[in-house]
């Protein structure tokens, strides 16, 4: 009986030392995946919001300065410069005049920083925004 008790006490499962390290090793990948997912989703929302703000400012700029839609190149240059935190080519912005007034649309390819962690999400993600400012 004493031998059995001694073996049970010496067993690795009976020792509480190191259990926190094992639990941490199991939970660390889950927490990292969750943290990186929150960061990527936050970047995506921030970029979409910035793109929407940019097309709204560009539509207002074009309607005030060029009501006849004469200068698309200056408006797209303004829009590309207005985009905060990203470098967007001017070819991603289009300017049209129609029944609603001056309309600016944009499409932007958003790339994930860590695409291997999210294989179910297409990379790059195409973001789009549009705004119409009455003339």
Task: Write the CB contacts of 123 (distance below 8 Å, at least 6 apart in sequence).
Answer: 111, 112, 115
In a domain, 41, yes or no: yes
What's the confidence (pLDDT) of residue 121? 85
Question: How do residues 103-126 score in pLDDT, each as one tens digit?
Answer: 999 999 998 888 887 788 888 999
Residue 12 has pLDDT above 60, yes or no: no
Residue among 53, 74, 73, 61 at smallest CA distance from 102: 61
In a domain, 6, yes or no: no
For the chain, the domain total comes to 1
In a domain, 9, yes or no: no
In a domain, 127, yes or no: yes
| pTM for the whole structure | 0.77
Question: How do residues 50-104 score in pLDDT, each as one tens digit?
Answer: 999 999 999 999 888 887 777 788 888 899 988 888 888 888 999 888 888 889 9
Does 124 sit behind a cis peptide bond, omega within 30 degrees of 0 on the bond before it? Answer: yes
Secondary structure of residue 112 in the 3-state scheme: coil
In a domain, 122, yes or no: yes
Q: Tell me the residue range of the domain where 80 lies.
A: 16-133
């Amino acid at each position: 009986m004493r031998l059995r008790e001694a073996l049970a006490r010496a067993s690795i499962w009976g020792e509480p030392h190191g259990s926190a390290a094992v639990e941490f090793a199991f939970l660390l990948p889950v927490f990292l995946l969750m943290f990186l997912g929150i960061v990527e989703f936050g970047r995506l929302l921030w970029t979409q919001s910035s793109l929407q703000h940019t097309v709204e400012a560009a539509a207002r700029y074009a309607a005030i300065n060029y009501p006849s839609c004469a200068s698309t190149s200056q408006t797209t240059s303004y829009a590309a410069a207005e985009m905060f935190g990203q470098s967007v080519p001017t070819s991603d912005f289009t300017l049209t005049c129609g029944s609603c007034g001056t309309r600016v649309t944009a499409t932007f390819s958003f790339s994930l920083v860590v695409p291997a962690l999210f294989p179910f999400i297409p990379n790059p993600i195409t973001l789009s925004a549009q705004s119409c400012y009455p003339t």
